[in-house]
């Protein structure tokens, strides 16, 4: 793509190139073009006759090529919005998804907001859950755990960006293994829950780019739950809450794993699919 190309032509060409790989090719082309120009969508629409400089054209072309290879646009732009906040994301972390906002909402509804709390976020990834909870629970202290040091580095950056670094402690850990005998008022997790046997059913932009360690949980997809649920039970204070994101078709298995817990509830996402499991110790 050359310089001196009008914005409307650049946008049309970009959208056409992304039709085969994106459900929203024009939106993706707009986002990439806005980033290349460091402008707003209003500017694109108001000044379609403006032209790209050579440098802007090179950047836009490079990003279009990446998106055309099905790389997620969030990794190209380096950010994703979640729960009203903007998070840095890299290929070291799972991209925060709207479905996971239901997990944060569910926990916020069940926890008191007027007293200090201790919360563990297991498999924190980008830190989206931990940071969102810290923003909305200013008296909470949150331990964000992840087996990936690279992921924790991204999460620390996000905590600092949203001014909650003093509320969130970051620990390299396989689930809750590294925090000894600590107890918590709540344990929350969006763990890996895709079965290895379902690998080929995933979209290429997920399967080929997002970290497998954050996606897959053995042949059944239940291996992390099978370890985490009993671990959490031993670390929660009496009446403490466990909140988990779950995958499609996993409700009955989680119901069995949560046998003996109180207040067990499964909450649907916007498509009506059970997405969050909550239970009280």
Which residues, in sequence order, are CB contacts of 143 under 8 Å at separation 6+? 118, 119, 120, 121, 168, 169, 171, 179, 182, 184
Which residues, in sequence order, are CB contacts of 234 under 8 Å at separation 6+? none
- pLDDT tens, per residue, the chain with 281 residues: 666 799 999 999 999 999 999 999 999 999 999 999 999 999 999 999 999 999 999 999 999 999 999 999 999 999 999 999 999 999 999 999 999 999 999 999 999 998 999 999 999 999 999 999 999 999 999 999 999 999 999 999 999 999 999 999 999 999 999 998 899 999 999 999 998 988 888 999 999 999 999 999 988 899 999 999 999 999 999 999 999 999 999 999 999 999 999 999 999 999 999 999 999 99
CATH of domain 83-280: 3.40.50.150
Q: What is the CA radius of gyration of the chain?
A: 21
Choosing among 1.10.8.10, 3.40.50.300, 3.40.50.720, 1.10.1740.10, the CATH entry for 7-69 is 1.10.8.10
**How far apart are alpha carbons 127 and 133 in whole angstroms?**
10
Q: Return the domain boundaries, the chain.
A: 7-69, 83-280
As given in the structure block, the two tokens for residue 25 are 């090719």
**How far apart are alpha carbons 72 and 67 in whole angstroms?**
7
């Amino acid at each position: 793509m050359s310089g001196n190309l009008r914005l409307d032509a650049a946008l049309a060409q970009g959208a056409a190139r992304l039709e085969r790989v994106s459900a929203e090719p024009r939106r993706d082309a707009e986002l990439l073009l806005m980033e290349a120009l460091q402008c707003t969508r209003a500017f694109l629409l108001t000044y379609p006759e403006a032209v790209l400089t050579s440098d802007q054209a090179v950047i836009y072309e490079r990003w279009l090529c990446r998106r055309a290879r099905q790389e997620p646009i969030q990794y190209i732009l380096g950010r994703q919005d979640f729960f009203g906040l903007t998070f840095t994301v890299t290929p070291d972390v799972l991209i925060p998804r709207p479905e996971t906002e239901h997990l944060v909402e569910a926990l916020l509804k069940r926890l008191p907001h007027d007293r200090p709390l201790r919360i563990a976020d297991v498999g924190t990834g980008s830190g989206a859950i931990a940071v969102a909870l810290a923003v909305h629970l200013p008296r909470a202290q949150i331990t964000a755990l992840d087996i990936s040091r690279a992921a924790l580095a991204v999460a620390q950056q996000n905590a600092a960006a949203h001014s909650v670094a003093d509320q969130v402690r970051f620990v390299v850990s396989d689930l809750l293994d590294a925090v000894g005998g600590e107890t918590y008022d709540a344990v929350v997790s969006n763990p890996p829950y895709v079965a290895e046997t379902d690998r080929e059913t995933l979209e290429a932009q997920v399967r080929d780019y997002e970290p497998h360690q954050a996606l897959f949980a053995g042949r059944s997809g239940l291996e992390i739950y099978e370890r985490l649920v009993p671990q959490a039970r031993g670390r929660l204070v009496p009446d403490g809450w466990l909140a988990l994101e779950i995958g499609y078709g996993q409700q009955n298995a989680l119901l069995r794993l949560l046998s003996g817990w109180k207040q067990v509830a499964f909450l649907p996402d916007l498509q009506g699919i059970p997405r969050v499991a909550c239970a009280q110790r």
